[in-house]
Amino acid sequence: MATNSSLKNQLQNNGNQSPGQTKQLGLKSLLNSPVVQDKFKEVLKDKSQGFTASVLSLVNNDSYLAQSDPMSIITCAMTAATLDLPLDKNLGYAYIVPFRDYKDGNKQKGQFILGYKGYIQLAQRSGQYEALNVIEVYEGELTSWNRLTEKFEFDPNGKLSDVVIGYVGYFKLLNGFEKTVYWTKQEVEAHRIRNNKTKNKTELSGVWKTDYDSMAKKTILRNILSKWGILSIEMQKAVTTDETVQTLDKDTGDIRDITPENNLEDFEAVPEVIAIPKTNEFVTEDGEIINLEDAAAQESLFEERTIKPKD
């Protein structure tokens, strides 16, 4: 089994590599270590190998994630694994977004972000929802909206332009309970700025910059499901871990939320992701092994030896 000292020796022996390569081999070493492999197997069983391979591929093709702290990537990956969601940008279920943590020596780390498709997937698994949807509302489509009665009149044929004026979410439970929520574009933007963890809170960054509508729809779903929906254990974990900064407790192996309160200037978003070529050999900078969360094993919904969710 890999030990702290063995990984640190590997670090010293490969100290001449570039920072990006150093971090990537650090992640590769951690993902291949028996300790980490066992933790992922507890959650994903025989699908763990495909999942960890997808995480390494994701980082290898992202120049900013490649420079992020390897253990923060592992923590985000474990969160996604416990929720049984793939970390594939093209699928949009969950993301790992890089940022700089000024409270921890300006280190570049990964942050777990749940996509709106991830919320839909988790809600579907609960078996409590008859209908669930969230869409953009374009100029001319909104006839009227009553916040008190939640009467939403929508004309899909009234679209005048491609300008998005708001977002509407709706669900209906099997017991007949229904809920509709509509946010204007201005309300979504105010929420984004209020919860932005960068120095310049009005600046678009991360997934908000690359796919604004997806993040806006995620915001609506998170609001409507967390306040009025039926929350399964998976959904509760998703709500509490989404867009938080997490670390691993060295003593217990638990994943802890370390997101600073009322101090949004401790973080700086990393610029938009730029793809880089894959590399086969990498060197580790910080390969200390820390036990991960002891998560209850759950049956994977991925197709055999892939990270693609089953239909």
Confidence (pLDDT) at 25: 55
Percentage of residues in the chain with pLDDT exceeding 70? Answer: 70
pLDDT digits (tens, 9 = 90+) for 109-153: 888 999 999 999 999 999 999 999 999 999 999 999 998 998 999
Q: Which two tokens stand for residue 282?
A: 């990498």
Confidence (pLDDT) at 296: 35
Confidence (pLDDT) at 116: 92
Q: What is the spatial distance between Cα 121 and Cα 93, in angstroms, rounded to a whole number?
A: 8
Q: Which two tokens stand for residue 208?
A: 């908000």
| Type of residue numbered 122 | L
Confidence (pLDDT) at 275: 34
pLDDT band for 308, please (50, 70, 90 cuts): very low
3-state secondary structure of 306: coil
Query: Phi and psi for 185 in degrees, rounded to 5?
Result: -60, -35
Say if residues 292 and 78 touch (Cβ distance below 8 Å). yes
3-state secondary structure of 163: coil
pLDDT digits (tens, 9 = 90+) for 228-248: 998 888 888 887 888 776 665
3-state secondary structure of 256: strand
265 or 154: whose pLDDT is higher?
Answer: 154
Percentage of residues in the chain with pLDDT exceeding 90? Answer: 43
Q: What is the spatial distance between Cα 311 and Cα 124, in angstroms, rounded to a whole number?
A: 12
Residues in the chain: 311
3-state secondary structure of 143: strand
Mean pLDDT to the nearest integer, 276-286: 33
Confidence (pLDDT) at 302: 39
pLDDT band for 277, please (50, 70, 90 cuts): very low
Give yes or no for residue 265 having a pLDDT over 80: no
Angle in degrees, CA 197, 187, 124, rounded to 5: 80
| Type of residue numbered 73 | I
Query: Phi and psi for 155 in degrees, rounded to 5?
Result: -120, 95
262 or 51: whose pLDDT is higher?
Answer: 51
3-state secondary structure of 166: strand
Mean pLDDT to the nearest integer, 202-217: 90
pLDDT band for 216, please (50, 70, 90 cuts): very high
Cα-only R_g, the chain: 21
- Using alpha carbons, list the distances in angstroms from residue 169 to 65, 119, 134, 157, 201: 32, 12, 4, 19, 26
**Biggest alpha carbon distance in the chain?**
67
Give yes or no for residue 34 having a pLDDT over 70: yes
> Residue for token digits 């101090």?
263
Q: What is the pTM of this model?
A: 0.67
Give 199's strand partners.
Answer: none
pLDDT digits (tens, 9 = 90+) for 61-95: 998 899 999 988 999 999 999 999 999 988 999 99
Give the ranges where 33-155 is alpha helix by DSSP (H).
34-44, 48-60, 70-82, 116-126
pLDDT band for 300, please (50, 70, 90 cuts): very low
End-to-end CA distance of the chain: 37
**Summary mean pLDDT of the chain:** 76
